[in-house]
Chains A and B, each alone.
Chain A
Amino acid sequence: MKFTVDEKGYYGRFGGAFIPEMLYPNVEELRANYLQIITDPGYQRDFHKLLRDYAGRPTPLYLAKRLSERHHATIYLKREDLCHTGSHKINNTIGQILLAQRLGKQKIIAETGAGQHGVATATVCALMGMECIVYMGKVDMERQRPNVERMRILGATVVPALSGSMTLKDATNEAMRHWINHPTETHYIIGSVVGPHPYPDMVARFQSIISDEIKRQLVDEIGNPAPDYVFACVGGGSNAAGAFYNFLDDEHVNLVAVEAAGKGLSSGESAATTALGKPGVLHGSKTILMQTDDGQVVEPHSVSAGLDYPGIGPMHAHLFDVGRVHFVSATDDEALKAGIDLSRAEGIIPALESAHAIAALNQFEFESDDVVVINLSGRGDKDLETYIRWGKY
């Protein structure tokens, strides 16, 4: 079984590039050049140097003793929360800004939900001296205010997306519209493994550094590169794609993707795409998305802005389809509780997105010799207000 993208831009029956003709030249320019650029030794040298010296990689693989005791297994946390800017998103934005420079682009646009991708994009734009516009749903701007100001401090312009539900999907629509209107000088840094081919593959490659490091670190820790389980939360799916990437072909490694159930799968306020969605087209690719039977995209809900998205990347749709990745979900309350529990047990306040991955541990019975890796995709600073409002700590 092949899990990576084929030459037509598909993962099984998912993927492709469903874009208006006005975007065809932009996307085609990327498609025709991305592999050659990002596999070039000079590019690779620059990319890895920045990941090390600027982003702070490799991130630690930390043995979480108290968590391990609780779940009767050996549990490691992959500390993406310790990356510069506070999440895995920086891996992708460094990769894409170096690519944009090599394509001769002068301006950068991005969408953001939680603001983590927006901050990571504003950061690399400041670093490279490039103009940066970030689209963010008005609702998200309100619930992730500190990140809005971080982007502004970094010199980016934050534009509120006022259409639809005014969250991540609408910010993505606005970014695409901007790109249609400014086709030549602008590069669009998509923040997850979503969008038209080649974005899902490109972003997955940039994030694959996560599982690359996990393998090497596990050899040092336990003398074996392969864990029994890898857990990651899934919004669009970039941290999960990165954490799973180098384990996809080793079927002994159980891969678990955790979606946001919001207020519960049957509450009508959820973002658990594989549980509630059907195949269709969203943001340029054929994938699984939450929609009405008339094909209208459903407004999702999650307490975590980064998971508040009605779709998943086409690679994940395929991995779900063929059963290679096991999809589960955690509710808002379960995630908040898991976030507080991790804070108390290990002294780490996780991002609410990552807290979903922790919460899902409760749904598994591990063998005592199981080695479990949880991708801790980000830190909780941005979510303090939500934790405070919830108040149960």
Chain B
Amino acid sequence: MKNRINKLLSNKPKDILSVYYTAGFPTLNDTGTIAESLAAAGADIIEIGIPYSDPVADGPTIQASNTVALKNGMRLSTLIGQVKEIRKKVDIPIILMGYINPVLQYGIDKFAADASAAGVDGVILPDMPMDEYIENYKELFDLVNLSNTFLISPTTSEERVRKIDAVSDGFIYAVSASSITGAKGKFDKQQLDYFRRIKNMNLKNPYLIGFGISNHETFNTASSYGAGAIVGSAFVELLKNAKHLETDITTFVKSLRNNNV
């Protein structure tokens, strides 16, 4: 059985825009408004962050949004309830991204069942090791048709990229640099060499490039190598300062896709 992620990727091989934001930020119930606005503005995938007290792979922008979301009272169980509501209006793929500890406390069996029932298509847990996934999670996820996306970075060896490709079903998340999350203006030559290297590996899964995508230029460059790109910190920054969520989100998505907005 194919989920929404698999369907999207087979229908749209290029220019996929996946947008990350933290659940419960800026206020607890913005999760739904933001999802609907993103879908309406033409995003292809929505990645909703499960807030965590100790997000080690994240830079200051996303860290701060996690802290605010937790203060707002966001919890994993609340988020799954919100996704259920979002699914009544939004039909593009929804991915939950977060750290493994809240998922472990929720209970991995219950999480897989509840998330899938609510309409979640995939999961990204950066601190879940691949071997752990294969041994303890894969069967559970497969059973309820949840994709799991792994990260690769410029320092990931070719052998390991191939191994990750083999256990992935959906897409691979290519982290654009050896870094934590954060918006940057431009890619350097080293990064472009890395994108080219991954492209030339002809992996079975498409890959999306994330970390440091903040504008039309970086989005375009990323999409010219991979199947598309993931925008996180730049979008969270926008949410932090947004005057009117719907219109600001529409403008933001358009500006990523199109230079002259």
Contact = CB atoms under 8 A, between A and B. Distances in A.
Interface of A: 8, 16-22, 24-25, 163-164, 169-170, 173, 176-177, 180-184, 278-284, 291, 293-297
Given A180-B180, A280-B101, A282-B54, A18 B157 contact: no
Contacts of B155: 22, 24-25, 183-184
B57, B67, B160 pick with most chain A CB within 10 angstroms: B57
B159 to A, nearest CB: 11
Interface string B136-159: 000000000000001111011100
A276 to B, nearest CB: 15
Nearest to B160: A24
Contact of A294 (B63, B76, B175): B76
17 contacts: A8-B131, A18-B129, A20-B127, A21-B126, A21-B151, A22-B155, A24-B155, A25-B155, A164-B53, A164-B67, A173-B54, A181-B178, A184-B155, A184-B178, A280-B101, A294-B102, A295-B102
Given A294-B105, A295-B105, A183 B178 contact: yes
Given A181-B179, A183-B155, A281-B101, A22 B75 contact: no
B198 interface: no
Given A18-B129, A181-B179, A25 B75 contact: no
B203 interface: no
A24 B194 CA distance: 17
B103 interface: yes
B245 interface: no
A20 B126 contact: yes
A286 to B, nearest CB: 8
A294 to B, nearest CB: 4
A281 B156 CA distance: 23
A230 B18 CA distance: 55
B211 to A, nearest CB: 9
Contacts of B105: 278, 280, 291, 293-295
Contacts of A184: 155, 178
Contacts of B151: 20-22
**Sorted from nearest, which 6 A-B pairs have the closest CB atoms?**
A295-B102, A295-B105, A21-B151, A20-B126, A296-B53, A20-B57
A177 B54 contact: no
B128 to A, nearest CB: 7
B235 interface: no
Interface of B: 52-54, 56-57, 59, 63, 67, 70, 75-77, 99-106, 126-129, 131-132, 150-153, 155-157, 160, 175, 178-180
A388 B57 CA distance: 40
Contacts, number: 103
A296 B128 CA distance: 16
A164 B179 CA distance: 20
Contact of B156 (A21, A278, A280): A21
A177 B180 contact: yes
Contacts of A279: 104
A24 B156 contact: yes
A389 B128 CA distance: 44
Given A21-B153, A295-B104, A295-B106, A16 B70 contact: no
A16 B63 contact: no
Given A21-B126, A24-B160, A296 B56 contact: no
A20 B76 contact: no
B104 A281 contact: yes
A22 B175 contact: yes
A25 B157 contact: yes
B63 A18 contact: no
A282 B101 contact: yes
B53 A297 contact: yes
Contacts of B54: 164, 169-170, 173, 282-283, 297
A284 B126 CA distance: 11
Contacts of B103: 295
Contacts of B76: 294-295
A20 B56 contact: yes
A21 to B, nearest CB: 4
Contact of B63 (A163, A293, A295): A163
Contacts of A284: 127
Given A295-B76, A295-B103, A22 B57 contact: yes
A297 B53 CA distance: 6
A18 B127 contact: yes
A18 B53 contact: no
Given A280-B101, A281-B127, A282-B54, A180 B132 contact: no
A27 to B, nearest CB: 10
Contacts of A8: 131
Nearest to B179: A181
Contacts of B57: 20, 22, 177, 180
A22 B132 contact: no
A163 B59 CA distance: 11
Contacts of A177: 56-57, 59, 180
A296 B98 CA distance: 12
A291 B129 CA distance: 21
